[in-house]
Each structure stands twice: as structure tokens, then as C-alpha cells.
Structure 1
Amino acid sequence: MDSLTRQVMLPPPTSASPAARENTDPGGHRADSGVSYSKIDPVGTFVRLLGLIAPAWQAVLGAALLGSATIASNICLMATAAFLIASAALHPPAGKLMLAIVGVRFFGITRAVCRYLERYVNHSITLGILGRLRVAFYRTLEPLIPAGLPGHHSGDLLSRAVADVATLENFYLRVLNPPLVALPVAAGVFLFLAHFGRTLALAWMGSFLAAGIIFPLGLTIVGRGVLRRQGEARAALNTALVDTVQGLADILVFDHGRQQQEYIATLDRQYLHLQGRKAGLNGLANALTSLASNLALWAVLVLAIPLVNRGQIDGVYLAMLALTAAAALEAAQPLPMLFPHLEGSLAAARRIFALSDARPAGDPAGPVPHPRDFSLRVQGLRFRYGPGEPPALDGIDFDVPSGARIAIVGPSGAGKSTLVNLLLRFWDYEEGAILLGGYDLKAYPPEELRRFIGVVAQPTHLFHATIAENLLLARPDATREEMERAAREARLHEFIQGLPRGYDTLIGEEGFKLSGGQRQRLAIARALLQNAPILILDEATTGLDAVTEREVMDSIRHLMEGRTTLVITHRLAGLEDMDKILVLDRGRVVQQGRHAELLRQEGLYRHLWQLQQEALP
């Protein structure tokens, strides 16, 4: 039963967090997932985010200088324009105004050019950082599946890969870049105003510090946790939406549609409420910056008038000083939201780094062996999915000679699929050993190991792509003729040829345009195309009708020749040709032998055979 089915069977949670929130750590991960995450403190997270930007430090410095030059050009434009208008009011000779006229044109053009270059460089840096982060996140995520992520919803992973990564653009654009731009501007304007009067510079600096430090701290207190909770609410909403889409059939079967709608509506209202609070903080930040700008203008103006009256400043500079003070506060405009964006960025980074710090099954330290043959030997194998849980496998021992055909049968929950996961190193065992070609399975890197093994599993994942693209997952360099040969052996070629676009037909998400039997046959064709020396069939013919099942099994028997084959099934029909049959029950091998031998014995195999024979029409 998947996560959505569990959610359907239980009352919807009342909070904006995922259903398993009560057993999660501060990063939103299930505490019982079996994965150890390193503790990430805010300082450590901040340093790691700086590490993402460090390779582009020259571009960052250039973007900061361009940002400062843009604001400086705007300040100079306002100051020059004010000086030009004030001077023109005195009707001087035109020649005395030429420098100011040229200055207005120059700073107007410079502002536009610098703004364009600053935006271009900033977005190039940001998109480069996000691109590297997405690739790194995927490379981290891939080896963790499925063993490292048992407690994570697919919607939560999607939110981390998309929304949380996108949130980190705020770290550079709204946390790191604004102070780098504001400091040179503040220093330049302070020195400029101090040239006319120290009190003017100190009054302006008071307004700037209010906009850059006092107001941000106040907004941090008022809106504490808003952006962090918004990220959590967004993740919970994405989780619910993805689970709903993937489990829509279960929802309809259990008549849980209205409850699911109410649950999603509750999450949506909570998310919208937090979005409203964020918008309110943004509006308050803009209002406070405008207030600081106006206070700076009036403070400089009021303090400069006595200086003009005393003749310390020429009156023509009065408007220029006031507008310079107001325009210079543009550098402080992004600063009031600096700390809230920092908090939101750190929360998103913690969610991403929590996964990137998970410990996947590692590659072997020594040289990679080459198997002498493709035999399998399992010795004293024990495995639990988590501490305190009952063993899924408890002391398994068996041998599969190279080229032999072994069937593993038993009731649901006996441990058959667990054994497949261990053979593929999706999970790593701690007790016992599995030998491939005489070498321990852990001596092979997971990627190398999986080249030796072809699998047809009961839950077949198909991508929203063409039939050909889904087949090429098994062997990307396969030709069209090889794909068609594999499809013929899986009894699928004629069906594909009857489609409007043949092998170029899109099959939809999870292959929903195909029937269950067609999906299984496509998975079998994929395994045939891979042509691996070891073949694992995990309920490979589930969903096929009796006639098609017999046809596909005929193809599979041909494929088995010369290959080490494990047939995992709960259906006992067609196992007469197996070299050996292992009967699992509660993680143990309770019987083994050939089909005829097991039927002569009193035991679980004979009992299962009789039940299946009675179920036949």
C-alpha cells in the first residue's frame, strides 16, 4: 500500500505538514527512515551556500560593482538634473550650463547600460548556481533510491528539487548582493555630503542605517518564520497534490474524493495565508524604505537651509543635496527583507542538504573484480528494513549455479521482493553474504552490478515518453531492428505496429495509455533488449491473460537458455522446468526441491498448489 493509500485510509491531517510530520526531524524527514543526516547549523548552512557561489566570485564582484554603478548613475542623474534646474532658474549664460546638460545625458545613458549589464550578470550567476545545484541534487538523489528514502513522499522530493532550489536564488539576489551593492554607495554618498557639511552626512547616514539595519531587524521580528513556514506549507501542498494525482484511482475506489479535496483546500488556505503575510511584509518593507528616503530628504534639506543662510553652501546646491539624499536610499531598498529572505534560504538549504548528506550504498574501496561466472550463492542472509522491525529475511541459504533456473515462491510478505532489492543493491545487507561469480556483492559498484542483471518487476515504471524511448532505457545504443526483435519475443510488436505512430507513440505517465498486460510485455521487451547474463523475473507475467502468459513464458524460456535465472512468483503454474524451487515463508526457506518432489511432500508448496488449483475455473 503506497503513501497515498495510507493517507486515504486515515483522517486528513489538520496541519500544513505531511501526514508523517509527527515522526520527522526539523528538516521534515521521517525519523525512522533509517538514514542518518548530519546536523546542519545555520552558520554551517550559510558557509555551504557561500561555497556554491565561490567559483563565480569574480562575476559576483563584477555584478556588485555594476549594481553600485547603476545606483551611483541614478544618484548623479538626480543630482545633476537638480543642479541644472536650479542653475537655469538664475538665467546664467548658456555656456555655464553645458557641463550639467552633458552630465544629465551621460548619467541617463550610463544608468540604463549599467542596469542592463547588472541584470544580465546577476541572472547569469543565479541561473548558473541553480543549474549546478539541481544537477548536484539529482546526482545525490539517484543512489539513495529506494533504500535511502523510505519515508519521503514523491511530492516532497519534487518540492525540494524544484521549489526549494528555486528559493535559493534569493540567497544571492536578495541576501548576498544587496549589501555588496549598498556599502560602496553608502560610503560614496556619505563622503559627498560630508564635503558640504558633516551634519548632513550624519543625518543621511542615520536614515540609511534605519533602512538597512533597524527596519530589517524589526521586520525579522514581526515576520519571524513566515518564509520558513511558507516553504514547509508549499512542500506539504506539493506532496498532497502529487500523491492525489498518482493515487487518483485509489481515492475514487474508496470514495475519498471529498475528504481529499478538503484536505488539499486546507493546505492551500494555509499556504495562501502565508503568501499573504509575505506580501504584507514586502509592502511594509517598501513603505519603510520610502519613509527612510523621505526622512533623509527632509533631514538634509532642513539642516542645509541654515548653512545656505550663513553662506557656507551656495543656494544652487540645496535641491541637489536633498535629491541626492533621497535617491541614495535606493541602495537600501532591498535591505529590509534581507533577514526574512536569509531565513527562507537557510530553511530551503537545510531541506536540500539533509538529503545530500544522506549516506548511500558506497562503491567498494578496492579494485572492481570481474566475476568468474554468473553463479549466485546466498549464505546466512539476514535483513531488516529498520531497527526494531521483524526480519524480512532470516538466515537464507541457497546456491544458483551459472545458467541454472531457480524459482522462489511463497505467500505475500515472505521476503521474495526483498531478496530482489538486495541482489540489485537497492538495500545493503549487514549479516550474511551474497556472492556473484565468487565475489561478495558489495565488491561491485552498484552501477556495474546492475549491468549484469536484467529485471522484470511487478510494479513496472514507464515514463511519459515514446515506446522506443522506454525500450532504450535498457540499452541506449540499441538499433531499431534490435528493439523490434525484443518486442516480437515479448509478443508486443504487432500491437505497436497497429498504433498510429508505431514505436514513436507516447504512452503517457506510468504508461496509462497501455493495459496492464501491455505494460508488463513492454517491461519484458526491455529486459530482452538488455540481454544481461542474469535474469530476475519478479511476478513478470502478472496482469496477462492465460493465453498471453503462456506465449510470453515461451519467449522467456528461450531467453533463459544459458542465463542464470531467478523467477520470483506466487503463482506455481509453469514451474515444472525449474532446476530448483525455493519456498519462502516469513523470511525463511522452508522447502526446496523440484516441482514434482515438492508436490509429494506435505508442506507449504503443496498447500499453495492445492489452493491455486481449487481457484481455477
Structure 2
Amino acid sequence: MIWNRRLLVAALAGSAADLAGLGLIASAAWLITRAAQQPELAALSVAIVAVRAFATSRGVFRYAERLSGHDVALRAQAATRERLYDSLIPAGPLSHRGADLLSRMVDDTDAVQDLLVRCLLPAIAALVTGVTAVVIAAFLLPLAAVVLAAGLAVAGVLLPAATAALARRSTSRLAPARADLAAHTADLVHGSADLAAYGATGRALDAAAAADDRLARLERGQARVNATALAAGVLVQGLTVVIVVAVAMALGAGSIATAVLALMSLVSFEPVLPLAAAGERLTGVLAAVRRLREIEATPPAVPAPADPLPRPTGPLTVVVDDLVVRHGDRPALGGVSLTLMPGKRVAVVGPSGAGKSTLLSALMRTVDAVSGSITVNGADLRRISPDDARAMMTGLTQDPYVFQTTFRDNLRLAGPEAADADLERAVREARLDTFADRAGWDVQLGEDGRTLSGGQIQRLALARALLYDPPVLLLDEPAEALDETTADALMTDLLDATRGRTTLLVTHRLRGLEAVDEVVVLEDGLVVQRGTHAELVAADGYYRELWEAENMIRR
């Protein structure tokens, strides 16, 4: 409702601005022509006041139209981007590349702004101004009004329709071409080191240049269509004015009426001529909307319950009972059972592909089980909304993302309303306080964490998890891709920080697992061993073999 009011204000203000321009030219034409006849000054006073009033009000109305119109457009753009985020969070697997998604997130959501600012509002103002100009012309000279109406119809209806038809084919290829160029550019920027190492920089540059050429050709074609439409509009404007003047002179309309008709006809095209470009832009907007709907129509990875249960409160007991999860035809979990009591820490270990990360995904409701169950305080997790499930069980996932903003803002992602004392506590528990003190809380972090070491990125992600403080903390390979010394230090600090917290730790490293309450060993989606670290080291099996191999490597 608020948007509708703001949009109405913008439409009225834009129409009023163009009408003020029309009134300014009409009254100025009358004033100049009448003054040439040297009448009494009193006969010109009303026109003089009208010229001043129209000139002043035109600027005021234009400012109001810009203010209200852009306010509505930016709000609509933000709402569209928010809906896109909301649809991406629960979405299942996407076939789109990251750069393509970014293009849709930026370029396609910008199109919503263009729909209002460049298409809808100009069309309303052009319609109001054109109708008013034709009505005034009809009072002065009916035949001139017919000529003016025909010219405005050609410039405001036929030309935009022709422009849209010509641009439709190129516009449908323009957005994918931009996404393709963005993907090649991202590959060059983020993969420059790998490309250089494998001698593939030249091929990557050639591919990016080819993508740039394709986009440039499409944009040049689009520019030619716009330029042709604008030139045709100006031609229609000139011909209409010439014919209106010729009709007025032929019918003996008089000098004042002829001058008013000529200048008013000329100015009435001012809000109409941009509609040709608006027709082309509308085609692009519709294509962008279709691309956004493709993302929004992506089915969720897991269905939300029709009548969700309220989120369980208090200390949570999580029971995984005979859980079976499949990825396609391949079983990822073949009947896993475990129990997480309040304050209990459980580590899940096993070789790559054993199903460790799948177990975390099932707990966070990003994959659905074929059979078995997960209950939280006795409530079936499938009866709880996915958002509530992730609020209860979340934490540190693989490849945490670092945004190109300050250290403080990167940390606040987990707690936008958190006090500075809470931020300091989380940073201290993650052993990142030395970095914060040395570099400062407002230091800018590079894109993807390029200014941080691997250990610092993992500690930042751990600090986020500790700041969010979910009832059940999930940690997925926190020491992955770190050197031995950094990984040992991080695991030691992590186990210290999670003492007393309900925690499920997925790891392939056994060092430090003496501190957890239970270790569960997965192989091929099955639980093959479970017990304390000491019990598993003493028993035959995968855990003991891995422990001996790890110690041998360290020696």
C-alpha cells in the first residue's frame, strides 16, 4: 500500500512537471506573440505570472518525481533481491554458475528499477501530456489536434512497439552474454595463479576476449536500434509540427494561435520521444524478470511442512535413528544412528565419501532422508520448518566465505545486533583477538579472504559460529587445507571453545579428539565403530590404523 501511494505520487509529479513544461511553452508563445502587438501592460500580466509559475513549478514537480520515483524503484529493487535471496537459501541443486547467479542478482534486479523509472512513469507522463496537448489544440483548431494526435500516436505507440520487436531477439541473448563474460572474468581474476601454473592464461584470455566481442556486437546492435528509433521520433516530431503550422496558416488560425500550436506541438513530444528507448528497455526487463523467475521457481531442497511444529526450546537432545540418505542412486548414509545429549561433544571421522558432510546436511535440513528419523526433544525434524531447524543446528561449514568489507562487519554476519562485548568474546574464544588488536576491527578484508591466511579464515568462521551460539554447534572439517601446525593449534582452540556446548564435529584429523565424549567412525555411509578416543585406539579397525598413520607422518 505504501509503495502504491509513493508510485502514485511519482506518477502525478512527473505528469505535473511535463504539464508545467507544456503550459510554460504555451503561455510563453502567447506572451511573446501578443507582446509583439504592443497591447497595454495589464493585458500581459496574467501571462507573465503564468510563465513564472510554470517555470518554477516545473522544477519543483520534477524534483518530487525523481525523489518519489527513485525511492519506489530502489525499494522494489531491494524487495526483489530479498525474494531472490529467500528463494536461493532453500533451493536445491542449481545448474547455474556463480558468475551467472551474480549477474542475475545485480543486472536482472536492476531491471526492476528500470521498469518503473524508464518504462512505467515515462509512459504515464507521456500519456497525460499528450492527451492534454491534443485537448488544447482541439480548442484552438480541431484539424490541428487530429494531426498532433496522429504524430503522437506514431512516436508514442508505433515506434516503441517497433523498437521492442527489433530488440526482442538481441535482448534475449544479451543477459546470457553478460553472464558469460562475467564468468570468464571471474575465472581470470580468481584463477590467475592456477592458469599461470598450467600455462592456460592465453587460452583463458582468448575465451574472455571472444565473450567480450559477442557482448559488444549485441550492444552495438541494440544501440543502433535505439539511435534509429530516436531519429525516427525526431523526424515524426518535425513533420508533425510542420503540418500543424501549415494547417493553421491555411485555415487562417491567426498568429497567436499558430505560434501556440507550433511550440506546444514541439514540446508535447518531449515526454513521448523517450518511449522508443523504453520499448527496447521493456523487452530487456521482461527477459530479466523471466531469468529471476527461473531462480525463484527452483524447488526447495527439502519440503517445508504444511503445519510446522513450534521450535523446541531449552537444552536439546538430538537423536538420529537409522538414517538413510541417497544422492541419486548412490546411498550416502546407509542407516546411521547417534545421540547428541545437551553439552555432549561427538566427533564423526572417516575417509572421504563416508557420508560425514551428508550427516550434517541432514541435520541442517538441506537434504532429505529416504528413511529413518531425526528427532529434537522428541519432535520429528521433518515436522519443524527448515529455517527453525537451521537456527537450532548450524555452525562452521566447509569453505566459509569472507566478504570484501571490514573485519567487524564480516563477524557481525552471525549477530547483526550483537554488542561489542559479544564480538570480543567470540573473537577471543576463537583465538583471533591478536589479529583484531594488531590489524584493527575496521580493517578491510579482501575478497574471498585474500588478505587472511587459511587459519585466520577458519578462525573467523569459528568466531561467527560461536557468536551465533546455536543450541547444537555443527563443525565441518574446520582444519581442512591447513598446515599441520596451524591445524593443531586451531583444533586445540576449537575444543577449548566448545567445552560445555552441544557439538558435532566432522573431521579427518584425530589429534585432540581425546577431549570429545564420543567418536563415531563412518565408512561407506555406515557406522563401523564408536566409543571414546582411548577405546578406539585400543581396538582393531579403521580408527586405530588412521591414528597410527597420523603419528607416523608426524614423526
**Distance change >3 Å, CA 586–CA 322, structure 1 → 2:** same
Work out the CA distance in 1 between the residues paired with 2:200 and 2:139. Answer: 73
Letter of the aligned partner of 1:216 in structure 2?
Answer: P
TM-score by length of 2: 0.86
**In the alignment, what sits opposite 2:118?**
174
Secondary structure at the aligned position of 1:514 is classed as: coil
**Distance change >3 Å, CA 477–CA 292, structure 1 → 2:** closer
**In the alignment, what sits opposite 1:541?**
479
2:286 equivalent to 1:365:
no
Shift of 1:423: 1.5
Work out the CA distance in 2 between the residues paired with 1:119 and 1:227. Answer: 32
Secondary structure at the aligned position of 1:272 is classed as: helix
**In the alignment, what sits opposite 2:19?**
72
**Distance change >3 Å, CA 146–CA 461, structure 1 → 2:** farther
Shift of 1:56: 3.6
Unaligned runs of 5+ residues in structure 2 are: none
Residues 63, 121 of structure 1: 8 Å contact kept:
yes
Work out the CA distance in 2 between the residues paired with 1:479 and 1:320. Answer: 67
**In the alignment, what sits opposite 1:355?**
295
Secondary structure at the aligned position of 1:160 is classed as: helix
**In the alignment, what sits opposite 2:127?**
183
**In the alignment, what sits opposite 1:14?**
none
> How many equivalent pairs are there?
553
Work out the CA distance in 2 between the residues paired with 1:239 and 1:129. Answer: 28
**In the alignment, what sits opposite 2:176?**
232
**In the alignment, what sits opposite 1:375?**
317
**Distance change >3 Å, CA 534–CA 379, structure 1 → 2:** same
**Distance change >3 Å, CA 395–CA 280, structure 1 → 2:** same
Residues 175, 338 of structure 1: 8 Å contact kept:
yes
Work out the CA distance in 2 between the residues paired with 1:184 and 1:476. Answer: 46
**Distance change >3 Å, CA 219–CA 142, structure 1 → 2:** closer
Residues 445, 452 of structure 2: 8 Å contact kept:
yes
Work out the CA distance in 1 between the residues paired with 2:49 and 2:356. Answer: 79
**In the alignment, what sits opposite 1:125?**
69
Secondary structure at the aligned position of 1:263 is classed as: helix
TM-score by length of 1: 0.78
Identity of aligned residues (%): 34
Tell me which of 281, 303, 306 is aligned to 1:341: 281
Tell me which of 142, 145, 151 is aligned to 2:95: 151
Letter of the aligned partner of 1:437 in structure 2?
Answer: N
Q: Report 1:376-391 matches (<5 A).
A: 376-385=318-327, 388-391=328-331
**In the alignment, what sits opposite 2:372?**
432
Unaligned runs of 5+ residues in structure 1 are: 1-53
Residues 582, 589 of structure 1: 8 Å contact kept:
yes
Residues 74, 108 of structure 1: 8 Å contact kept:
no
Letter of the aligned partner of 1:524 in structure 2?
Answer: L
Shift of 1:291: 1.0
Work out the CA distance in 2 between the residues paired with 1:337 and 1:505. Answer: 44
**In the alignment, what sits opposite 2:506?**
568
Letter of the aligned partner of 1:183 in structure 2?
Answer: L
Work out the CA distance in 1 between the residues paired with 2:228 and 2:75. Answer: 32
**In the alignment, what sits opposite 1:211?**
155
**Distance change >3 Å, CA 171–CA 612, structure 1 → 2:** same
Shift of 1:452: 4.0
**In the alignment, what sits opposite 1:414?**
354
Secondary structure at the aligned position of 2:331 is classed as: coil
Letter of the aligned partner of 2:228 in structure 1?
Answer: L
Letter of the aligned partner of 2:171 in structure 1?
Answer: L
Tell me which of 195, 214, 220 is aligned to 1:276: 220
Secondary structure at the aligned position of 1:221 is classed as: helix
Shift of 1:485: 5.0
2:47 equivalent to 1:103:
yes
Residues 369, 439 of structure 1: 8 Å contact kept:
no
**In the alignment, what sits opposite 2:336?**
396
Residues 144, 359 of structure 1: 8 Å contact kept:
no
Residues 488, 511 of structure 2: 8 Å contact kept:
no
Q: Which region of structure 1 is more displaced relative to structure 2, 266-275 or 366-375? A: 366-375
Secondary structure at the aligned position of 2:330 is classed as: coil
Residues 56, 125 of structure 1: 8 Å contact kept:
no
**Distance change >3 Å, CA 364–CA 423, structure 1 → 2:** farther
Tell me which of 204, 207, 210 is aligned to 1:260: 204
Residues 134, 149 of structure 2: 8 Å contact kept:
yes
Residues 141, 355 of structure 1: 8 Å contact kept:
no
Work out the CA distance in 2 between the residues paired with 1:489 and 1:342. Answer: 53
Q: Report 1:188-199 matches (<5 A).
A: 188-199=132-143
**In the alignment, what sits opposite 2:39?**
94
**Distance change >3 Å, CA 132–CA 73, structure 1 → 2:** closer
Residues 372, 437 of structure 1: 8 Å contact kept:
no
Letter of the aligned partner of 1:585 in structure 2?
Answer: E
- Deviation readout 1:231-260 (Å, 9 max, x if unpaired): 332233334434543444443443332222
Q: Report 1:32-51 matches (<5 A).
A: none
Letter of the aligned partner of 1:74 in structure 2?
Answer: G
Work out the CA distance in 2 between the residues paired with 1:191 and 1:475. Answer: 60
- Deviation readout 1:524-559 (Å, 9 max, x if unpaired): 344444554433332223355545544544444444
- Deviation readout 1:87-120 (Å, 9 max, x if unpaired): 455xx4431x654575256335414522442343
2:463 equivalent to 1:521:
no
Alignment RMSD (CA, Å) = 3.4
Residues 20, 57 of structure 2: 8 Å contact kept:
no
Letter of the aligned partner of 1:295 in structure 2?
Answer: L
**Distance change >3 Å, CA 411–CA 158, structure 1 → 2:** same
**Distance change >3 Å, CA 342–CA 119, structure 1 → 2:** farther
Secondary structure at the aligned position of 2:270 is classed as: helix
Letter of the aligned partner of 1:330 in structure 2?
Answer: E
Work out the CA distance in 2 between the residues paired with 1:340 and 1:449. Answer: 46
Work out the CA distance in 2 between the residues paired with 1:292 and 1:191. Answer: 20
**Distance change >3 Å, CA 111–CA 232, structure 1 → 2:** farther
**In the alignment, what sits opposite 1:295?**
239
